[in-house]
């Protein structure tokens, strides 16, 4: 079950190195294996969704002011 679509294949990429708790890394790897998705794809998608959500929330706050 592939749930993450490839987007922006021609987009330039930046490398990101970060430290996360070992337990979280294991859970991430297990999730990706079970769902047949690359960790890189999962992380890209999660970051994009989180940033989009934050942007929408900020717009709603500005429109209420």
Tens digit of each residue's pLDDT (9 = 90 or more) over 24-57: 999 999 999 999 999 999 999 999 999 999 999 8
* Residue 6 backbone dihedrals phi, psi, to 5 degrees: -75, 135
DSSP state of 2: -
User: How far apart, in whole angstroms, are the C-alpha atoms of residue 61 and residue 29?
Assistant: 36
Q: Tokens at residue 25, please?
A: 């890394």
Cα 9 from Cα 30, distance rounded (Å): 25
Q: How much is the average pLDDT of 5-18?
A: 80
Return phi, psi of residue 9, to 5°: -60, -30
Q: What is the pTM of this model?
A: 0.72
Residue of higher predicted confidence among 32 and 63: 32
């Amino acid at each position: 079950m592939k749930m993450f679509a490839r987007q922006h294949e021609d987009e330039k990429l930046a490398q990101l190195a970060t430290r996360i708790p070992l337990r979280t890394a294991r859970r991430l790897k297990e999730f990706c294996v079970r769902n047949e998705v690359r960790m890189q794809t999962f992380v890209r998608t999660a970051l994009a969704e989180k940033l989009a959500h934050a942007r929408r929330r900020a717009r709603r706050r500005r429109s209420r002011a």
